[in-house]
Structure 1
Amino acid sequence: MNKITIIGGGNLGKSIISGLGNSDLFEAKHITVVDKSEHNLTEVKEKLGVSTSQHIIEAISDVKWVILCVQPRQLDAVLEEIKEELIADQILISTVTGTSIAEINEVVPKNKVIRVMPNTGASKKLSMTCISANEDVKEELVFVQKMFDTIGKTLIIEERLMQAATVLGASGIAFFLRFLRAMIQGGIQMGFHPHEAQIIAVQTAMGAATLVAKNGTHPEREIDKVTTPQGCTIEGLNEMEHQGLSSSVIKGVMASYEKINTIK
């Protein structure tokens, strides 16, 4: 029963499969991907050597773990299709935004459910994956954390924070990229060619994040190391704050959070 089926072979599904396929948790032959797209299935089969299928019922028989990696609008149909075929000791792992463990258990009450929220950094094994489960899923939770450690960093959180985790961790990728784009545009305006500005800005962003991650410091501590009295850095920082940088980011994060709480 140490087999796993991933329902959904899109970008996120492929990233998860890549991590699992290159780990020692599962043999490639024990990983099955289900998708309606022949293109997606051909790609994962050729690149990773896993099994593929377009038939959900066949793919979930005799497996311990079932990852639901579909769009929110597709979840109800998938659950309705598989609910009569699931057996009690199969574990469902849901990546679906906005659907609680309790809501999934309304359809499949006999199965344990674990929620996970990776981000698109998973494709480079740099995902930030938040994980939550009910109290009765402690043993299985340990293994699921090992699964998602194969594609980046993991954090166990309370389920009430999963919507916030989606905004900060998943939508957060887009927020950081928008700031990165602005830095690149500023570099171009100062005289760099676009590809030069991108190289500088991207490496600088990676360095900034790594300083905080490796040193375990607050961002302001690292900012203090760059700013000098009456220097150009503090001049730029103060102008950004006068124009509402921090306030705009916080408002954007909270607008996204308010929106996600209305999505179903």
Structure 2
Amino acid sequence: MNIHIIGGGNLGVAIALGISKYTKENQVTITRRNTESIIYLEKNGIQVSSVNTNGIDEADIIILTIKPYQVDHVLEEIASKIEGKTVVSAVSGVSIEAIQKKIKNNNAVVRIMPNIAIQFGESATCIAFEEKDKKEAEKVISLFQKLGTAPVIEEKLMDAATVLGACGTAYALRYIRASMQAGIEIGFDSQTALAIAAQTAKGAAQMLLEEKIHPEQLIDRVTTPQGCTIVGLNEMEHQGFSSSLIKGIKTSLQKIKE
């Protein structure tokens, strides 16, 4: 497919790199008004342009990775050139209905919420669409399944998906950073502490994805009676580990809905 990404920020670039590295026979174009910071993408076979409509006629899928306030202007700019093409929106807080109204319902519209780990083929990309667009959406699902996981959700859960899957990257990284800091305190140099903390988090996640069981079942394998793991876990819970994480996720969702 020819894939046209409008918006060369962090997410747009991550998607472009992920597609170029982990899929075959897909041609990617990415646009940004000032291309200086993304011109290096051409070394990966990605076409870069400062004009949103450049090459859009050949596109099969158009992915929007822009800010919500840019949506009206961008859709007005491209509307006359995208009839019959699938529009894929990674824009937070903008509904399928709102996009369809802007482009006069001439396109299948699919909403996605990936995260920047898509650059490494490890995104959890939530996808929502209307039933009438199922055929076109299946192509989008197939594409993003090659770049991690691609669960289909109801559109009303897209804000929650943003918090859990996209903001969640930062939450996971903050855990790793804290673990690294603790590692330094107990004797490791910073690079060794980071390597251990990051790989341990990666391994824990991989076990969950492979075995598809509740986290507590895996925790039980690590904790032994009167052992060092259980006392550490209990101290973290006494200090509000789980409750603070839950509160943080809910607070982020409240912010999106404001």
Could you state the TM-score of these two structures normalised by the residue count of structure 1?
0.91
CA contact 2:120–2:147 (8 Å) conserved in 1: yes
Match of 2:47 among 45, 51, 54: 51
> Which of 32, 35, 42 is equivalent to 2:32?
35
The within-5 A match list for 1:177-196 is 177-196=173-192
Query: Which residue does 2:93 correspond to in 1?
Result: 98
| CA drift at 1:41 | 4.5
Stretches of structure 2 that go unaligned for 5 or more consecutive residues are none
Letter in 1 for 2:6: I
Higher mean Cα deviation, 71-80 or 113-122?
71-80
Distance (whole Å) between structure 1 residues aligned to residue 248 and residue 215 of structure 2: 20
C-alpha deviation, 1:62, in angstroms: 3.5
Q: Structure 2 vs 1, CA of residues 221 and 4 (structure 1 numbering), >3 Å: closer, same or farther?
A: same
CA distance in 1 between partners of 2:38 and 2:197 (Å): 36
Q: Is the partner of 1:84 in helix, strand or coil?
A: helix
Q: Tell me, which stretches of 5 or more residues in structure 1 are unaligned?
A: none
Given candidates 176, 200, 206, the residue that maps to 2:172 is 176
User: CA–CA distance in 2 between the matches of 1:161 and 1:25?
Assistant: 32
Deviations 1:15-72 (A, max 9, x none): 222233342352x3xx3222212224521212x2233322223432242221111122
Q: Does the aligned pair in 1 maintain the 2:208–2:214 contact within 8 Å?
A: yes
> Could you tell me how far 1:113 is from its partner in structure 2?
0.8
Contact persistence 1:53–1:59 (CA under 8 A) = no
User: What do you get for the CA RMSD once the two structures are aligned?
Assistant: 1.6
Q: Deviations over 1:69-128 (max 9, x none)?
A: 1122222211121223332x1111001111110111121122221001100111111111
Partner Cα separation in structure 2 for residue 51 and residue 212 of structure 1: 37
In structure 1, C-alpha distance between the alignment counterparts of 2:209 and 2:251, rounded to whole Å: 27
Tell me whether 1:20 sits opposite 2:22 in the alignment. no
Letter in 2 for 1:38: T
Q: Is the 8 A contact 2:35 2:48 kept in 1?
A: no
Preserved contact between residue 3 and residue 62 of structure 1 (Cα < 8 Å): yes
Q: Give 1:209 deviation, angstroms.
A: 1.1
